[in-house]
C-alpha cells in the first residue's frame, strides 16, 4: 500500500503509459505514475535512468512519443511549457544574467501581462519566502549557488505555479551547503502548500526531503514508496542495493522457523529470516544492511552467525567499516559507530551477527550481476 | 657510472639540440622575431599612410584647392564615402533580417539535409568577390538572368548602388549567419527553457532572453559584415557603374597616379577601420537591455505554428533568391555558351573560341594569372604560418600584460582596413615614396597578401592553442622532454588540423582578393583582376570561364576546411 492510497492526497499529476525514445535509446518506457496534491515527490535513480526526461516531460520541455500526462485533471501532453502553469527549477539555476534578481523574479508576471500592482505583490511575496528581499537589486554574478537557487525558486513561485519541478536543484552546490538547503527547500514547498516533483541521484537527499520516492532504473519505475518503505521493504535487489549499503548472500529455502523462512547458504550456514514462507528448495538471495550487523570476537556458530576473518578495517569518521572474509567464501562489511567500534586487526577471527527481522529476502534473479549493477 | 643509471643516459642528438635551443635567450629571440615581423611587415606598412599625409600643403592643394578643379576631389571623396556607408549600412541590415532566422534554424533545429544547407550557406564565401559581382551582374542585370525567366528582354536592374547592395548582402551573408549561429549555439538553451516554464511563448523568449544574450555577438557580427562591405573592391568595381565607393575611388585614382589624394582617402578609411575595431572590442562585452514593453497576446499569436511555416518560407526564399542563385548563376551562364552564343550561334561569342582560339591568346593570359595567383597565395600562406605560429603562441602563453591587450587589438586592424587602402599604404611604404625597396609587381602583391591574411592565420591559431590542454604538455615535460621537444612531439601533432584550417582560410582569402592586388600589381595579373579586366572589355564568356575555375578551386578548399574543422 502506498501512502498516496491511504493518505489525504488527491492526484495532482497522472502519468499514463508515457514513453520517450532518443534514436535507439529508450529514455522512459511505458511509465505510469500518480503524484498527489501537496506531496513532495522525488524521482531517484542512477544517471541515465530517465528521471530527468520524465520531469522534463511533465514540464513540457520534452514531448513524449506516446502516453498521456494530466496535471490537475487537465490533459497537458501537446501543450507547450508556458501553457502548463508549472514552475521549473534548474540545476544550473539559469538565472538570466543580464537582469537583476528582482527583474528575474518579475519576469513571469510581467510577460503574462499581469496587473502591475498584483505582479509587484507576487514578486514581493516570492522574494520574501526565499529570504532574498535584501538582495533584490543585485545581479546574478554577485550571488553564490544557494542565493541563485533561491532566486530560481522565487522566480518559479512568482508565476503563481502550484506545482514545482526541481531538476537536481542542489546538484551545483557544495555538500555542506546542500545539507542545509534541503530543509529550506522542503519548508518552502510545505509552507506554501505546493506540490513538488524533485529529481536527484543522491539517495540521502531523497530520503530526507521526500514524502514519497520513486526509484527509477533504465526508463522504468522499480518501486514507489515512503523513505521508510524503501529502506525496510525494498521490492527488488536493485532497490535494496541502491538505497544504503548492503551485502548479499545466496542460498536455498530449507524450511521454516516460527518467525519465517530459513535459508541455507554456502557452507551449510542457516539464515533465519522473518520473511513469510517460501517454497522449499527455492533459490533465494538474502540481503543484510551493513549497519544491521554486529561484531562478536571469536568464531561462533549458529543461525544468523557468520564466522570469518577480518581482512581490513577502515575508519570513515562517524563509523568504522570492518571487511570480513567469511569462512564460506563470501565477504561482508560491518558498519559500527566509531564510539563503540571494536578495534580489530587484519586476520583476527570474528563473527558477524544479524537479527532475523533485518534479513531482506528476494527471489534469485535470472541475472544476479545485472540486477546488482548500479545503472 | 652504474648500470642502473638510466636517467643519465645520453639523450638523442636531436633532443640535445632542442634542449640547447630551449634556452631562455632563444625563446626571447623567437618572440622578438615574431613581434618584429608583425610590427614591420604587417602593421607598420598598414598605418604608414598616416605619416605620408603630414605634408598638409600638398594635400590641401590636391584635395581642397586644385588650381583647375577647386575642391572637386574633396566632394568626390565625400560622395564616395557617403555611398560606401549607405551601401554597407543597408547591406548589413538586410543581412541581419534574412540571416538571423537562418542562423536560428541552423543553431536550434534538427532536420534532414541540415548539413547540406549549412554547406550551401558557406558557398558565397568561396566565390571570389569579383566573380560574385560578375555573376550577380549576369543574374540581375542581363536578360540571361532573372529577367529572361520573367519573359523580359532586358535586365531587371542596371549597374548602381542597388546592385552593389545585393552583391554585398550575398557575400557577407555567410559571415553573418556563421557568427550568429556560433553565438546562438553558445547560449545555454536552458535559459530559453527557463523562460518558457515561466510562461513565455517562443517569440517572447526570443525577444526577452535570446536577443539580450546575443546583443554583443550580434553587434560584432554586424560590424564584421559592415567593414567587409565597406572595404570590398572586386564586386563593387564591376557593379557600381558611375557611383564610386571609396575603395573603388582609391583604385581609380591610383591608376591615374593621383598619389596625394589617394593617400588622404586611405588615411580616412584606415582611421574608420581602427575606430570600428575599437567599437567591436567595447561592444563585445555588452549584454542585456531591459524587458521593455510586452504584448502577450500579439506575441502568442506570432508564436503559432502557422507563423513558423511563414518564417521558414521566408528564410528559404530569401536565401535562394538573394544569396545562393545569384552567386552561382555564372556556372549556368558559362554552360550555356560553351561553344557559341545561344542566340546567334556565333562561335566567337562562345567560351571555347574566346579562351582558346581567339588571336589575343586569353588561355595563356589565364594560365599565367592562375600561376601568379597560386604562387602568391602559397607564398603568403607559408610565410604567415611560419611567422604566425610563434606569434599566436606568444599571445596565448606569455604574460605581457597591457602590451598583449594592445597587440590583440592591432592584430584585428588589417581585417577591417579596406584592402585597397591597405594595398595603397603598402605601396607608399615599400615603393619609391617610402623605403624604395619593393616596386609594384609580384613581390609587392605578395607582401600585401601576407598582411591582410595575417589576422586570419593568427586568430585561428590562437583559438586552437587556447583549446589545448596544457596537462598533456606538462606530462611530456615531466617525462624529461625539453620545451622545444615537447613542442615538436606533443604540441604540433595536436595542432595539426587547426593549422591546416588556418592555412586554408588564408589561402582562400588571398586567392579571391581584388582590391589590394589592383593597387600594387604593376604588370602582374591574378585571376580576380583578370576577371575585372575581361568584364570591362566585355569578353563576358571568357570572364565567366575564369570565374568558374576560381570558384571550383575555392569551393574545394572550403569543403576541405569544413571537413578539417569538423563543422556539422
Q: What is the pLDDT of residue B178?
A: 84
Whether the predicted pLDDT of A147 surpasses 80: yes
Distance CA A273, CA A275 (A): 5
**How many helices and strands, by DSSP H and E, does chain B display?**
29, 0
pLDDT tens for each residue of chain B, 568 residues long: 444 444 455 567 788 888 888 888 888 888 899 889 998 888 888 888 887 766 777 778 777 888 888 888 888 889 999 999 999 999 999 999 999 999 988 888 888 888 888 888 888 877 888 889 999 998 988 888 788 778 777 777 888 889 999 999 998 898 888 888 888 888 888 899 999 898 888 888 888 888 888 887 788 788 888 888 988 888 888 888 878 888 999 888 888 888 888 888 888 888 888 888 788 777 766 665 555 556 667 777 777 778 888 888 888 888 888 888 888 888 888 888 877 777 777 777 788 888 787 777 888 888 889 999 999 999 999 999 999 999 998 888 888 878 888 888 888 888 888 888 889 889 888 887 778 888 888 999 999 999 999 998 998 888 888 888 777 887 877 777 788 888 888 888 888 778 887 888 888 889 888 888 988 888 888 888 888 888 888 888 888 888 898 888 888 887 887 777 665 4
Model's pTM, two decimal places? Answer: 0.78
Pick the residue of A58, A81, A102 with the most B CBs within 10 A to test the interface with B by mutation.
Answer: A81
State the cell numbers at B234: 572586386
d(CA B415, CA B311): 33
Higher per-residue confidence, B524 vs A31? A31
Provide the CA B441 distance to its chain's centre, in angstroms: 23
User: What pLDDT shows up at residue B355?
Assistant: 79
Question: Among B467, B460, B301, which residue's Cα sits nearest to residue B388?
Answer: B460
Domains of chain A: 3-239 (3.40.50.300), 245-367 (2.40.50.140)
pLDDT number for residue A52: 93
Inform me whether the pLDDT recorded for A276 exceeds 80: no
Fold classified for B55-291+305-333? MetI-like fold (1.10.3720)
Q: Do residues A214 and A44 make contact, with C-beta atoms less than 8 angstroms apart?
A: yes
Q: State the pLDDT confidence band at A353, using cuts at 50, 70 and 90.
A: very high
Q: How far apart (Å, rounded) are the C-alpha atoms in residues B333 and B139?
A: 9
- What residues are paired with A16 via a beta bridge? A68
> What confidence score (pLDDT) does residue B10 get?
58
Residue A223 above 80 pLDDT?
yes
Q: Name every chain A residue with its beta carbon within 8 A of the beta carbon of B296.
A: 111-113
* A chain contacts of residue B201, beta-carbon cutoff 8 Å: 80, 82
Query: How many Å lie between the alpha carbon of A162 and the closest alpha carbon of chain B?
Result: 12
Strands A40-44 and A195-200, how do they pair? parallel
Q: Which residues contact A226 (CB under 8 A, 6 or more apart)?
A: A2, A3, A210, A211, A212, A213
Query: Quick check: A59 and B208 CB within 8 A?
Result: no
Task: Identify the CA nearest to A342 among candidates A272, A275, A293.
Answer: A293
- Taking the Cβ of residue A154 and every Cβ of chain B, the question of whether any pair is shorter than 8 Å is answered with no
User: Measured between beta carbons, which residues in chain A are less than 8 angstroms from residue B305?
Assistant: none
Q: What are B232's three cell numbers? A: 570590398
Helix (H, G, I), strand (E, B) or coil at A27: strand
Asked, colleague to colleague, whether B18-52+347-568 and B55-291+305-333 share their fold, the answer is: yes
Using a CB–CB cutoff of 8 Å, tell me whether A59 touches chain B.
Answer: yes
Q: What pLDDT is recorded for position B217?
A: 78
Among candidate residues A362, A335, A355, A322, the one with its CA nearest the CA of residue A241? A362
Q: For residue A3, is pLDDT > 60?
A: no
The CATH number assigned to the domain with range B18-52+347-568 reads: 1.10.3720.10
Nearest to B198 among A61, A97, A108 (CB): A108
Chain B touched by A103 (CB under 8 Å):
yes
Given this model, what pLDDT does residue B289 score?
57
Sign, CA torsion A227/A231/A236/A238: positive
- d(Cα A259, Cα A359) in Å, to the nearest integer? 12
Q: Is A61 in the B-facing interface, judged by CB distances under 8 Å? A: yes
A58-115 residue pLDDT tens: 998 899 999 999 998 899 998 888 888 889 999 988 888 888 899 889 888 888 777 8
Could you tell me the residue ranges of all domains in chain B? 18-52+347-568, 55-291+305-333
Partner-chain residue, chosen from B190, B208, B212, that has the shortest CB–CB distance to A111: B208
- C-alpha closest to that of A253 among A214, A291, A282, A290: A282
Q: Which residues of A touch B291 (CB under 8 A)?
A: 99, 103, 107, 110-111
- Is the Cβ–Cβ distance between A314 and A334 less than 8 Å? no
What pLDDT shows up at residue B287? 61
Residue B294: what pLDDT? 62
Q: Calculate the average pLDDT of chain A.
A: 89
Cβ-based contacts of B290 with chain A (< 8 Å): 99, 103
Q: Does the CB of A232 have a partner CB in chain B at under 8 Å?
A: no
Residue whose entry in the numeric block shows the C-alpha cell 537591455: B289
Interface test with B, best of A78, A84, A94 (most B CBs within 10 A): A94
Contact with chain B for residue A33, Cβ under 8 A = no
Chain B residues near residue A59 by CB distance under 8 angstroms: 197
SS3 of residue A21 by DSSP: strand
Question: How many other C-beta atoms lie within 10 A of the C-beta of residue A47?
Answer: 9
The pLDDT assigned to B292 comes to 55
Q: Which residues of B touch A61 (CB under 8 A)?
A: 193, 196-197
DSSP letters, B166-196, are: HHHHHHHHHHHHHHHHHHHHHS-HHHHHHHH
CB A192, CB A27: distance < 8 Å: no
Instruction: Identify the closest residue of chain B to A105 by CA–CA distance.
Output: B198
Span A324-341, mean pLDDT? 92
| Element containing residue A353 per DSSP (H, E) | strand A349-353
Q: Among B190, B193, B288, select the one facing A98 at the smallest CB separation.
A: B288
**Cα(A70)–Cα(A55) distance, integer angstroms:** 13
Amino acid at each position: 500500500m502506498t501512502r498516496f492510497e491511504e493518505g489525504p492526497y488527491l492526484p495532482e499529476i497522472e502519468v499514463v503509459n508515457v514513453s520517450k525514445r532518443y534514436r535507439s535509446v529508450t529514455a522512459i518506457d511505458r511509465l505510469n505514475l500518480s503524484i498527489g496534491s501537496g506531496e513532495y515527490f522525488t524521482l531517484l535513480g542512477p544517471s541515465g535512468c530517465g528521471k530527468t526526461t520524465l520531469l522534463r516531460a511533465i514540464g513540457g520541455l520534452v514531448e513524449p512519443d506516446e502516453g498521456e500526462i494530466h496535471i490537475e485533471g487537465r490533459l497537458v501532453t501537446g501543450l507547450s511549457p508556458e501553457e502548463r502553469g508549472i514552475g521549473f527549477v534548474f540545476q544550473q539555476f539559469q538565472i538570466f544574467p543580464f537582469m537583476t534578481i528582482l527583474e528575474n523574479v518579475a519576469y513571469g508576471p510581467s510577460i503574462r501581462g499581469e496587473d502591475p500592482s498584483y505582479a509587484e505583490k507576487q514578486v514581493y511575496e516570492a522574494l520574501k519566502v526565499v529570504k532574498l528581499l535584501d538582495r533584490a537589486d543585485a545581479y546574478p554574478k554577485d550571488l553564490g549557488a544557494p542565493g541563485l537557487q533561491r532566486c530560481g525558486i522565487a522566480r518559479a513561485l512568482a508565476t503563481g505555479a502550484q506545482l514545482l519541478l526541481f531538476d537536481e536543484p542542489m546538484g551545483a552546490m557544495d555538500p555542506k551547503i546542500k545539507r542545509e538547503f534541503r530543509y529550506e527547500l522542503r519548508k518552502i514547498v510545505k509552507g506554501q502548500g505546493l506540490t513538488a516533483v524533485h529529481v536527484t541521484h543522491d539517495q540521502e537527499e531523497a530520503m530526507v526531503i521526500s514524502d514519497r520516492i520513486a526509484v527509477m532504473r533504465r526508463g522504468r519505475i522499480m518501486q514507489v514508496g515512503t523513505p521508510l518503505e524503501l529502506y525496510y521493504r525494498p521490492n527488488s535487489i536493485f532497490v535494496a542495493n541502491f538505497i544504503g549499503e548492503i551485502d548479499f548472500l545466496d542460498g536455498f529455502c530449507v524450511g521454516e522457523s516460527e518467525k519465517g523462512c530459513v535459508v541455507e547458504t554456502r557452507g551449510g550456514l542457516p539464515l533465519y529470516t522473518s520473511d513469510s514462507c517460501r517454497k522449499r528448495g527455492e533459490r533465494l538471495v538474502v540481503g543484510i544492511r551493513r549497519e544491521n550487523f554486529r561484531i562478536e570476537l571469536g568464531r561462533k556458530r549458529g543461525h544468523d552467525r557468520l564466522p570469518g576473518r577480518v581482512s581490513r578495517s577502515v575508519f570513515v569518521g562517524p563509523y568504522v567499516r570492518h571487511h570480513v572474509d567469511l569462512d564460506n567464501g563470501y565477504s561482508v562489511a560491518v558498519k559500527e559507530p566509531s564510539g563503540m567500534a571494536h578495534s580489530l586487526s587484519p586476520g583476527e577471527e570474528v563473527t558477524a551477527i544479524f537479527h532475523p527481522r533485518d534479513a531482506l529476502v528476494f527471489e534469485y534473479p535470472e541475472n544476479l550481476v545485472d540486477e546488482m549493477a548500479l545503472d | 657510472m652504474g648500470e642502473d643509471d638510466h636517467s643519465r643516459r645520453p639523450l638523442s642528438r636531436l633532443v640535445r639540440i632542442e634542449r640547447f635551443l630551449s634556452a631562455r635567450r632563444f625563446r626571447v629571440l623567437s618572440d622578438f622575431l615574431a613581434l618584429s615581423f608583425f610590427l614591420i611587415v604587417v602593421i607598420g606598412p598598414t598605418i604608414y599612410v598616416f605619416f605620408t599625409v603630414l605634408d598638409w600643403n600638398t594635400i590641401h592643394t590636391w584635395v581642397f584647392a586644385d588650381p583647375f578643379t577647386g575642391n572637386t576631389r574633396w566632394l568626390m571623396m565625400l560622395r564616395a564615402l557617403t555611398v560606401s556607408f549607405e551601401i554597407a549600412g543597408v547591406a548589413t541590415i538586410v543581412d541581419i533580417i534574412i540571416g538571423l532566422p537562418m542562423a536560428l534554424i541552423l543553431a536550434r533545429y534538427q532536420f534532414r539535409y541540415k548539413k547540406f544547407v549549412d554547406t550551401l550557406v558557406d558557398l558565397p564565401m568561396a566565390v571570389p568577390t569579383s566573380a560574385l559581382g560578375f555573376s550577380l551582374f549576369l543574374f540581375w542585370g542581363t536578360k540571361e538572368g532573372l529577367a529572361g525567366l520573367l519573359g523580359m528582354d532586358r535586365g531587371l536592374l542596371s549597374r548602381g548602388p542597388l546592385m552593389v547592395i545585393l552583391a554585398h548582402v550575398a557575400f557577407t551573408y555567410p559571415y553573418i549567419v556563421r557568427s550568429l549561429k556560433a553565438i546562438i549555439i553558445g547560449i545555454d538553451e536552458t535559459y530559453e527553457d527557463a523562460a518558457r516554464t515561466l510562461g513565455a511563448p517562443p517569440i517572447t523568449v526570443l525577444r526577452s532572453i535570446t536577443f539580450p544574450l546575443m546583443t554583443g555577438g550580434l553587434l560584432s557580427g554586424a560590424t564584421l559584415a559592415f567593414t567587409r562591405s565597406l572595404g570590398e573592391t572586386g564586386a563593387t568595381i564591376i557593379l557600381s557603374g558611375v557611383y564610386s565607393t571609396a575603395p573603388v575611388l582609391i583604385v581609380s585614382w591610383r591608376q591615374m597616379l593621383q598619389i596625394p589624394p589617394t593617400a588622404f582617402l586611405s588615411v580616412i578609411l584606415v582611421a574608420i577601420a581602427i575606430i570600428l575595431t575599437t567599437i567591436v572590442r567595447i561592444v563585445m562585452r555588452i549584454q542585456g537591455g531591459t524587458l521593455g514593453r510586452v504584448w502577450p497576446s500579439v506575441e502568442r499569436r506570432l508564436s503559432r505554428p502557422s507563423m513558423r511555416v511563414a518564417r521558414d518560407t521566408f528564410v528559404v526564399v530569401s536565401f535562394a533568391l538573394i544569396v545562393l542563385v545569384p552567386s552561382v548563376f555564372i556556372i549556368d551562364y558559362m554552360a550555356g555558351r560553351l561553344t557559341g552564343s545561344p542566340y546567334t550561334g556565333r562561335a566567337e561569342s562562345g567560351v571555347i573560341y574566346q579562351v582558346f582560339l581567339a588571336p589575343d591568346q586569353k588561355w595563356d593570359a589565364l594560365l599565367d594569372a592562375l600561376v601568379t595567383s597560386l604562387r602568391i597565395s602559397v607564398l603568403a600562406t607559408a610565410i604567415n604560418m611560419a611567422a604566425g605560429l610563434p606569434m599566436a603562441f606568444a599571445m596565448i602563453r606569455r604574460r605581457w600584460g597591457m602590451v598583449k591587450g594592445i597587440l590583440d587589438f592591432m592584430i584585428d586592424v588589417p581585417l577591417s582596413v579596406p584592402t585597397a587602402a591597405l594595398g595603397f599604404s603598402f605601396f607608399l611604404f615599400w615603393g619609391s615614396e617610402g623605403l624604395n625597396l619593393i616596386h609594384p609587381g609580384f613581390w609587392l602583391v605578395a607582401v600585401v597578401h601576407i598582411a591582410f591574411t595575417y589576422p586570419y592565420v593568427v586568430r585561428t591559431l590562437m583559438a586552437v592553442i587556447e583549446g589545448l590542454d596544457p596537462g598533456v604538455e606538462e606530462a611530456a615535460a615531466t617525462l624529461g622532454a625539453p620545451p622545444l621537444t615537447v613542442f615538436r612531439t606533443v604540441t604540433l601533432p595536436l595542432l595539426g588540423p587547426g593549422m591546416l584550417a588556418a592555412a586554408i582560410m588564408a589561402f582562400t582569402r588571398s586567392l579571391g582578393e581584388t582590391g589590394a592586388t589592383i593597387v600594387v600589381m604593376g604588370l602582374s595579373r591574378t585571376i580576380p583582376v583578370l576577371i575585372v579586366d575581361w568584364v570591362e572589355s566585355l569578353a563576358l564568356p571568357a570572364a565567366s570561364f575564369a570565374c568558374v575555375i576560381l570558384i571550383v578551386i575555392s569551393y574545394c578548399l572550403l569543403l576541405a576546411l569544413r571537413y578539417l574543422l569538423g563543422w556539422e
